[in-house]
Amino acid sequence: MPDERANDELHEYLSGNSSLSRQYRRENSPLPPHALDRMILDASRAAAREPKSFFKSQALAPLAFAASVFLSLAMVLAVVLGPQARKTDDKARVVQVRMFKSEPPRAAISSPRERNPAAWLAYIDSLRQGGRANEAQLEMRRFRSAYPDYIIPVNE
């Protein structure tokens, strides 16, 4: 079988002592020109004399790694805990709302008497004393509407 033969040849060759390898080693062994040797060795010595750059130093690698980890962690925390991450709650909430009765519209002041609260109260009192209680009550409501903060004396 040709494949098996080729494999056998390869195994024999890889064993290191094949006739092919022996023949190759008998060939002349050219070397690079001496001028090239000098040039490369000079370049290597010049490079070795160069001071090592601090920023290129391998010693900075752990520091760079730590900085990367720190920044990554900070970014993750910013994303997870940042204000933009707070989502609105979808659940229904019970909200207490304090309702206030709207203030009744203030009564329109139609006469000069009504511009003077004391005179208006005196008029209401006269209505009450004249037996016109309903009218007195109506006027009193209008008075309250027109002057809600007016302090009415106790005797009135």
Partner 1 sequence: MNVQDQDTGLMLRYRDGDAAAFSALYAHYKGPLYRYLLRHARNACVAADLFQEVWSHLIATRARYEPRAKFATFLFSIAHNCAIDFFRRDLNLRRAVFAHQTDPVLTEPEVPEHLRPDRVAEYAEQESALLAAVDALPQEQREAFLLREETGLSIEDIARITDVPVETAKSRLRYAVRKLKHSLRPMQEHGPLRLRTYA
Nearer Cβ to partner 1, position 30 or 82? Answer: 30
Nearer Cβ to partner 1, position 3 or 149? Answer: 3
Which positions touch partner 1 (CB under 8 A)? 6-7, 9-10, 13-14, 16, 18-21, 23-25, 27-33, 36-37, 39-41, 43-45, 47-49, 52-53, 56, 58
Burial category of 139 from C-beta neighbours within 10 Å (exposed 0-12, middle 13-18, buried 19 and up): buried
HSE, side-chain direction, 13 A CA sphere, residue 26 = 7
What secondary structure letter does DSSP report for 101?
P
Least gap, CB of 90 to partner 1 (angstroms): 54
Burial category of 22 from C-beta neighbours within 10 Å (exposed 0-12, middle 13-18, buried 19 and up): exposed
Least gap, CB of 21 to partner 1 (angstroms): 7
Nearer Cβ to partner 1, position 23 or 84? Answer: 23
Please report, for residues 117, 138, 150, the alpha-carbon distance to residue 154 in angstroms, rounded to integers and kept in the order given. 15, 19, 12
Nearer Cβ to partner 1, position 41 or 69? Answer: 41
Least gap, CB of 11 to partner 1 (angstroms): 10
What secondary structure letter does DSSP report for 131?
T
Least gap, CB of 28 to partner 1 (angstroms): 8
